[in-house]
Every structure is written in structure tokens, then in C-alpha cells.
Amino acid sequence: ILGGRTSRPGRWPWQCSLQSEPSGHICGCVLIAKRWVLTVAHCFEGRENPAVWKVVFGINNLDHPSVFMQTRMVKTIILHPRYNRAVVDYDISIVELNADINETSYVRPVCLPSREQRVEPDTYCYITGWGHMGNKMPFKLQEGEVRIISLEHCQAYFDMKTITTRMLCAGYESGTVDSCMGDSGGPLVCEQPAGRWTLFGLTSWGSVCFSKVLGPGVYSNVSHFIEWIERQIYIHTFLL
Amino acid sequence: CTSTSCPDICTHSSPCDMNNSQANCSQCEPITLELCMNLPYNYTNYPNYLGHRTQKEASISWESSLFPALVQTNCYKYLMFFACTILVPKCNPQTNQRIPPCRALCEQSKERCESILGIVGLQWPEDTDCSQFPEENLDNHICLTPDEDVEECSPSHFKCRSGRCVLASRRCDGQADCEDDSDEENCGCKERGLWECPSSKLCIKHAMICDGFPDCPGGMDETNCSFCRKDEITCANHDCVPRKCWCDGQIDCADKSDEWNCVSMSENKSSLMFLMVHRSAIKYHVCADEWEENLSYLACKQMGLGGPPVTEMVPEYKQPHHEKWMNLQSEWERKNTSTLQALLVTGLPCRSRSMVSLLCTKEDCGRRPAARMSKR
């Protein structure tokens, strides 16, 4: 995260880290149910074998495992069948864990939006992750507040890419607060009434975040995929 | 290394060692960079001439924004060809080596377009020193020069009549982006080789019709896709399966859609929510005979809800206009199945004359622990 701040442990209990040896943390991910995690499809490019991945929950400092940490292996990776690597469209995937997580105050699922629920432009939401900070990779989870930007406005920043309805833009023209390499797959959450946090985006792509080219970040629009997510979880739980 | 995998042949060495040149282990790979998909070659080799190690890195680089923007100024007919030869260099499949652009192409591009960049205060990419590229062409074997008919605009761009390239999504958007307005001409879907969504002006690719994913407003591209008989029901992928197979616990549609949404709750009447099962696309109440609490858990879980559920057996007289019954089949405990609908059968009498009513809870989500108070 660029322009963010270090997060307090346990503040984002749905944030998880998708890890693979020998590199360790590769992408962010989001806990949506005891056995299910969302992330983006591009995290698995060239590494689609579930056996090489593990998912770490309840962690704040990647370098210091905490007593609240839980680790699960990956049982299944479900990539969106329309994921297009060349244009980074339909960038979403579902991960089935090998065992349920134990729900604690440090490991809890986030709410998913309903099919019709959209986040309005100019809403302020939060992004989190262990991605690049512009000058270094952090050990501690970072958080940043970003503003939702309309698709039309967002398209103006990306002359060379088509912003589709499967995407959601958030950030600032100046790029002051933005997601960056290593944040991919992590959450963009907005607070809803009664203090519930709902997942509206997954960090997907943007301009080179620490270069001269600035602009908002582009997130996978979770509302667009709700039906697909529900179907896949149902199929893998009851029909396979 | 955190975002890409290394080719297998390099696994004997540390894949993230920066001193280990990837040039030694890279192989020809298909071009996926959207900007450069119209080149007279299909394979590339990395790192490229701008120092990007992967196509993904190239796709989000400053240069991949710069060159297409510059093409729009019409400064040089072959600028985009040159840009692509350095962004996704041609790969020789025999040697797995890159083939660079010829020096003359580089020099011409720089000479004609660099000054335009200067006007807006930008610099020509530093890594494009033309002297690094060979002069000799030898039939495009040593270095590349463009053919006369090379396409200037990438497939994701529209070429204005003036020659300028504008983003394809801006074509026919009601606003002129070409100086000659040519991007707003011939805007019918048909003229553009696309399909027009009924009752909206949206155009989609023909391959998107009846593919199981709704793309038009109201999912109009997914209607009238199958012609099933009266005794059949349409799967989500538009296959037809016999009506009696719907929600029978066996998968009949290839996409498994005949076993989706088989369990639901009736509408809330007098605060009681009756468990319903949709066998053969007909709604059935569930008879309370032999009902057990673990079945209530299963029903709630199938509806995406949590527990512990509250189960009630409601006598039939309290719900006078009830639907048909379904009963648990005999020895259902021995059946190895994961869905409720597979355990139920029709046509049996309901001895208790009672229906199952359920109250499931929604799994808790989205709550953060309260911040701990500390005295100051």
C-alpha cells in the first residue's frame, strides 16, 4: 500500500496472506467463510497447483508469527472461466481450504455484498495488504483509505486499457494512496450500517504504482461475481 | 520473482537471484500484450529491450502507455511497430533468441516523435539507444523492419480515418475522439461485426451469446438459447434434461444447475418459514415424519445459512393451502449423499400430518473486534 499506515493487529481479521515457497508472501486474500477465501486469478499464473500454496490468517507481521496465526493448505483453486490474462478482465478466483478456520477475533470472515448492492462513487473505503510501499516491502500489514471513482472517470486515466463493469476503481488522481505489487487479491472493504464491513473489491491492477504514471487502482468488482461465487461454493460443497 | 514463475530449466538455481540472468533461461512465449497482438509474429522472448522481465511488467509499464499515446499524434507511421519490437521482441524459435528492431527503424521513430514528447515535457525512453540495434537486415533475420502494410493500431484500438488510433471502447460512445469524427460513424453493432442486445444499444461479441454468462441488460443474450420439450427443463448452460431429474440428488446438467436452488423457505406467512424442496421444478413441503436436527443443519447449509437452526413441526391445519408433500425415504440414514433433496421422495403419506418449519441464522461476518481501551 502506498501512502497508508501500519495497521493494528486484528483490525482486518479477514485479511490473509497467500504464500508459496520459496518466496513466502505472494498475494493477499480475503476470508469469506470458514473454508473459503477469495483472491484474484492472476496470482495463480504459472502456479495453478494447489499443493504449492498455503494460506495464513491472523497475522500482522509477516516476519513474526503470532499466537493468533492459523495456517491452512489449499485444497482447490477455482479460477473464473472468463479470466483473460491479456486484458486482466474477470480477475477473480476462489480458494477452498483443506480445513475450516477456527473463528477468533483475529480470524473472521468479511461480509459479501448482495447481487444488487453497489458501492457509490465518492464513498470512502479501505484497502489493506503487505504489498510494496514505494520504497520497501513492509513486514507489517498496511491499510489505506481510498475513494471510489466512477468507471467513466476511471477510464480517463487508462487510455490503453478498457475499464469494464467487472472492475471497480478507487484511489486518487495523484496516486497518493494506492495499492501496489504484492497487494493483489487483498480486500477493498467499505463500512456498512451497524459497523459491518463488506467486501466490494479485490486488488487487481493499476499503473506502475511507484512510477511517474499515477492514477487510481483497479479492483475486481465483487458485486458482479456474487452469483458465480455462490454457485461455485455450492457446487464444491454439495455436488462434487 | 514474487509475481512470476521461472521456466523449469532454471529450477536448479535460485529463481530470485538477480545475478542469475534470465536471458540464459528464457524461452519463446506467446505474445499476450494486448497492445501488440497484431504483429507479423506471435512469439516473444524476455527480458525485452526496455528491461521488463515479463509481459505483465511490460503491460503496466510507463512505455506501454507512452507509445500508444504518441501514435495518436501521427508522428510516424511505423512507431507502434517499433514500440512493439522493443516491448515484445520477436523470438527466433530455433535459437530462442530475441530479434531486435533495425537501427534505422529506431532512429526514424526517435527522430520523428521525440520532439513531440518534448512539447509536453516528456522524454524519449532512456533504454532505447538506437546504436544497440544492428544496421544489417538480411531479410528480417538479424533485425526487423516493418512491411508496408503493417497495422498501426493495436487490435484494442480503432484507427481513425486520419490514421490516429483511439481506444476501441471509445468508438461509438457518443463523443468524437478522432479529429475527423470517424469513430462515431457506422455505429451499428452489425457494421462492427457485433451483436446488438435486444432493447439496448449495447453490442457484444457473437461468442458471448448463449454462453451461460449474461452480458446484455436483463440477460437477454441468454434467452431463447434452447428449445426443450414440455417434459424437459433448461439447464443454465441451455442443455435440456427430463423434468423428473430436476432436484433428484443426481447431477444431470453438465453444469450441475439441475441441483442448484433445490432447497428454499416459503414466504413468511404468520412468521413461519416452511422448508420447501423443488423436485421436478414443483415446490413441495417436507413431511416431519422421522425428521432429525442434523437434517435442519443440512437444509440451512444448503441455503448458504448457518446454525444452530430452530426446527418446528407445524400441523397441517395451521397451513390450509399447503403444497404437496415430500417424505424422507426409508433408511435415509444409510444413504451416502450430501444434499437434502437426494433423501426425499414423493408419493408417500405423511403420518404426522406435520410440515417442517425452519429458522436458520445468517453466519456472522464483517465485524472487527472493538479497539482495546487504554488509559492515558
In 10 A of CB B228, how many CB atoms?
15
Q: How far apart are CA A164 and CA B174, in angstroms?
A: 17
- Of B316, B320, B306, B324, nearest to B357 (Cα)? B316
B301 contact residues in A (CB cutoff 8 A):
237
Q: Do A196 and B167 touch (CB under 8 A)?
A: no
- pLDDT of B194 > 50? The answer is yes
Q: Give the gap in angstroms from C-alpha B341 to the nearest C-alpha of chain A.
A: 11
- pLDDT of B278 > 90? The answer is yes
Q: Do B65 and A45 touch (CB under 8 A)?
A: no
Distant-in-sequence, close-in-space partners of A62: CB < 8 Å, separation ≥ 6: A17, A24, A25, A130, A139, A140
HSE-up (13 A, CA, CB side) for residue A102: 6
Q: How far apart are CA B172 and CA B192, in angstroms?
A: 10
- pLDDT of B178 > 60? The answer is yes
Residue A212 near chain B (CB below 8 Å): yes
Catalytic residue among A17, A20, A42, A223: A42
- pLDDT of A199 > 60? The answer is yes
Catalytic site includes residue A184: yes
Q: Report, as an integer, the average pLDDT of A118-146.
A: 94
Asked which of A8-12, A20-24, A115-119, B179-183 is least confident by mean pLDDT, the reply is B179-183
Q: How far apart are CA B357 and CA B355, in angstroms?
A: 6
Catalytic residue among A20, A25, A80, A91: A91
CB A145 within 8 A of CB A189: no
ipTM of this complex = 0.89
- pLDDT of B228 > 90? The answer is yes
Give the three cell numbers for residue B18.
538477480
| Percentage of chain A exceeding pLDDT 70 | 96
Query: pLDDT by residue (tens digit) across A71-102?
Result: 999 999 999 999 987 778 899 999 999 999 99
CB B126 within 8 A of CB B114: no
Q: Do B367 and A87 touch (CB under 8 A)?
A: no
Amino acid letter, B323: E
In 10 A of CB A107, how many CB atoms?
21
Query: pLDDT by residue (tens digit) across B305-338?
Result: 887 889 999 887 766 666 688 999 988 888 888 8
Q: How far apart are CA A161 and CA A213, in angstroms?
A: 14
State the pLDDT at residue B321: 62
CB A152 within 8 A of CB A163: no
Structure confidence at residue B217 as a pLDDT band (50, 70, 90) = confident
Q: Give the gap in angstroms from C-alpha B31 to the nearest C-alpha of chain A.
A: 9
Catalytic site includes residue A91: yes
Q: Report, as an integer, the average pLDDT of B2-27.
A: 49
Length of chain B, in residues:
376
User: CA separation (Å) from B43 to B33, B35, B65, B204?
Assistant: 11, 14, 21, 29
Q: Do B2 and A26 touch (CB under 8 A)?
A: yes
- pLDDT of B80 > 50? The answer is yes
- Of B343, B358, B302, nearest to A231 (Cα)? B302
Kindly compute the dihedral angle of the four CA atoms of residues A124, A129, A133, A134, in this order, to the nearest 10 degrees: -80
State the pLDDT at residue B117: 79
CB A126 within 8 A of CB A146: yes
- pLDDT of B361 > 60? The answer is yes
Q: Do B368 and A82 touch (CB under 8 A)?
A: no
- Of A41, A165, A33, A195, nearest to A112 (Cα)? A33
Kindly compute the dihedral angle of the four CA atoms of residues B2, B5, B10, B13, in this order, to the nearest 10 degrees: 20
State the pLDDT at residue B13: 47
State the pLDDT at residue B249: 92
Q: Report, as an integer, the average pLDDT of B13-21.
A: 47
Q: Determine how β-strand B306-315 pairs with β-strand B354-361.
A: antiparallel
Residue A69 near chain B (CB below 8 Å): no
Structure confidence at residue A211 as a pLDDT band (50, 70, 90) = low
Q: How far apart are CA B259 and CA B251, in angstroms?
A: 7
Structure confidence at residue B234 as a pLDDT band (50, 70, 90) = very high
Q: Determine how β-strand B284-286 pairs with β-strand B324-328.
A: parallel
Query: pLDDT by residue (tens digit) across B92-117?
Result: 888 888 999 999 999 999 998 888 87
State the pLDDT at residue A189: 98
- Of A116, A121, A108, nearest to A216 (Cα)? A121
CB B289 within 8 A of CB B325: no
